[in-house]
Amino acid sequence: MSRTPLLFAAMAAVLLAVGLLQSWQLALTILNLCLISAVMALGVNVQWGVAGMFNVGTMGSAAVGGLAVVLVSTPPVRAAWAAGGGGLLATGAVLLATAGLAALLWRRMGDRSLLRGPAVGAIVLLGLAVSQRWFLPATAAIESVDAASTGYLGGLGLPVALSWIIGGLLAAAVAWPIGRLTAGLRSDYLAVATFGISEIILAVLRNEEWLARGVKNVTGLPRPVPFEADLQAAPWAQHLAAWLGWSGRDTASVLVKLFYAAWFLAVLLVIWWALERLARAPWGRMMRAVRDNEEAARAMGKDVARRHLQAFVLGSAIVGIGGAMLVTLDGQFTAGSYQPLRFTFLIWVMVIIGGSGNHKGAILGAFLIWFVWVQAETAGLWLAATAAAALSPENPVRLALEEGPAQLRYVVMGLILVLVMRFAPRGLIPETTPETPR
């Protein structure tokens, strides 16, 4: 397999070319998002490539991971806690009691299945109604605490890098019940269900302002790297700038992006290494067995549902880590920016193009697709500018052309996806399992 290093070398060359021809800042911006995308692609690859689970709720995991950054790294808003903390705790207690009661009833009424559903439903509705009594005033109080800048509970004020791990754990914690509930659904129904659940998660994040300010966004998140202004003032950076012949601002900006890249690369390598270890471990063999022939695996006494759940949770956790890193890089949590096209389907394209089931493939796919995603706009802009130059400024065709390039990338993505599915369904780097001789 000399193809894999060749493909990666080509990818590196392309990024270098961007650095040399366009700018190093752009190249590093692309690289950073490539690295984050690669982490998310690895998560999807664990679910689809390794376990064969059709989860189309990637966006939800990414958003939950992003939420973790807010909850971990922002300073707590003590006034908000004072205003509504008690009410929220009371709400939580009521909901917990309701859940307990519902579960108890569900178990106790096992023999009267006709009554069970309505009874449990009634308990849940009642619990929800009762909890509103504390929930509504509490959230209203929280959201009115300095609404323009906070109006939410804030976080724990811990180091932001810690939030990546918490992001993974939180995404796993959210994924676990979803995986339990959807276990056994036929694959196309699983897709529709996970797609719906991820939209519900986003609806909550957008609307519950007390949690993370909803669509009002949390900005100015702490970062794991120095600020550009501080670097510009640092003597060693000034020396470097002089040596490179760049302006101090450019040098600082490139340096910051490099620091981020180092963080992300480290995370990517750790996850990749762990997944490769797993693939060679008995767990990996079993997962492939389950994926390739579910019936046979079940007949051999493998607990298929359990394996699926493990892959689902693990994959979601990895996507969550990616989501947390993305929010850290952006420095802000914008609930309104999560769209399935960008956060679910684009990641899927990466995995399929790279070669599902193959972690190296997923990483390469992520790099390639993110690069095309960004550069399709540039290329489109250039094309449009060339074509539009011949037309008068008021010509509707010209207006459409000038608006078009941003949309062109959707076409390119879709085209790449269907072409790969049609002509190279195993992707750029087809899966090679440890079992097959090389």
Partner 1 sequence: MTDLLNALVHLTSMLIIPGLAYGSQLALGALGVTLIFGVLRFSSFAHAEGLSMATAITILFTIWLQGMGLSAGVLPTALLGMVLAMPVMALVFIGTDRALYRHFRRINARPEVFMIVSAGVMLMMNGVIRLVIGADGRDFEDGERFIVTARGFRDWSGLAEPLVLKTSQVLTIGIAALATVALFWFLNRTQAGRSMRAYADNRNLALLSGVDPDRIVRLTWIIAAVLSVLAGVLFGLDKGYRPFVYQQLLLPMFAAAVVGGLGSPVGAIVGSMIVAFSELALTFAWKKALAYVLPAAWAPQGMVQALSTEYKFAVSFLILVIVLLVRPAGLFGKVAR
Q: Do 352 and 365 contact (CB within 8 A), yes or no?
A: yes
Q: Which is nearer to partner 1, 26 or 120 (CB)?
A: 120
Q: Minimum distance between the CB of residue 434 and partner 1, rounded to whole angstroms?
A: 24
Q: Minimum distance between the CB of residue 384 and partner 1, rounded to whole angstroms?
A: 10
Phi, psi of 356 (to 5 degrees): -65, 145
Local structure of 189: helix, strand or coil: helix
Q: Minimum distance between the CB of residue 117 and partner 1, rounded to whole angstroms?
A: 8
User: What region, left, alpha or beta, does residue 387 occupy, with left being phi > 0 and alpha being psi -120 to 50 degrees?
Assistant: alpha
Q: Which is nearer to partner 1, 270 or 406 (CB)?
A: 406
Q: Which is nearer to partner 1, 203 or 281 (CB)?
A: 203
Q: Minimum distance between the CB of residue 378 and partner 1, rounded to whole angstroms?
A: 16
Q: Which is nearer to partner 1, 156 or 419 (CB)?
A: 419
Q: Which is nearer to partner 1, 73 or 131 (CB)?
A: 131
Q: Which is nearer to partner 1, 60 or 167 (CB)?
A: 60
DSSP for 318-335 reads HHHHHHHHHHHHHTSB-G
Q: Minimum distance between the CB of residue 287 and partner 1, rounded to whole angstroms?
A: 17
Report the b/e string of 19-42 with b at 16+ CB within 10 A.
beeeebebbbbbbbbbbbbbbbbb
Q: Minimum distance between the CB of residue 32 and partner 1, rounded to whole angstroms?
A: 24
d(CA 434, CA 280) in angstroms, rounded, equals 6
Q: How many residues does the chain have?
A: 438
What are the distances in angstroms from CA 302 to CA 230, 292, 295? 56, 13, 10
Q: Which is nearer to partner 1, 136 or 281 (CB)?
A: 136
Which residues sit at the interface with partner 1, rule CB under 8 A? 54, 117, 181-182, 184-189, 191-193, 195-197, 199-200, 203-204, 206-207, 340-341, 345, 348-349, 352, 400, 403-404, 406-418, 421-422, 425
Report the b/e string of 120-145 with b at 16+ CB within 10 A.
beebbeebeebbeebbeebbebbbeb
d(CA 346, CA 352) in angstroms, rounded, equals 10
- Give me the half-sphere count of Cα atoms (radius 13 Å) on the Cβ side of residue 333: 30
Q: Minimum distance between the CB of residue 70 and partner 1, rounded to whole angstroms?
A: 19
Q: Which is nearer to partner 1, 320 or 405 (CB)?
A: 405
Q: What is the largest CA-CA distance in the chain?
A: 80
Q: Minimum distance between the CB of residue 136 and partner 1, rounded to whole angstroms?
A: 8
Q: CA 153 from chain center: how many Å?
A: 23
